[in-house]
Structure 1
């Protein structure tokens, strides 16, 4: 999905960008936070133009 479309949807849903980091194979990870819902981790292409996937990471239950 085009990054601008994804980011607009996340903003409309009440998410805010919380941070970023380096992913595997030159990709970029961006984390999104929400006041009510769990955070979302999204994986972008290296140029940040395409969002490859986004998901709620599993919580550790140690």
Structure 2
């Protein structure tokens, strides 16, 4: 995802407490954002299975309908 998309996802997640659906481009897994690490440009996600993971902004995209 682009830096502007990453910044928007992080803003909505951290400031508005929204869970944004994201897809991992390598694995196809879907997860929901619950935090960001700006130093490493990663998004912390909760997978549909309930597991937690961290994805780099270059390896995920926002799920659109």
Pairwise TM-score range, normalised by the shorter structure: 0.3 to 0.5
Q: Which has the higher contact order (CA 8 A, sep 6+)?
A: 2
- TM-score normalized with structure 1 length: 0.39
**Structure with bigger gyration radius:** 1
What is the TM-score normalised by the length of structure 2?
0.37
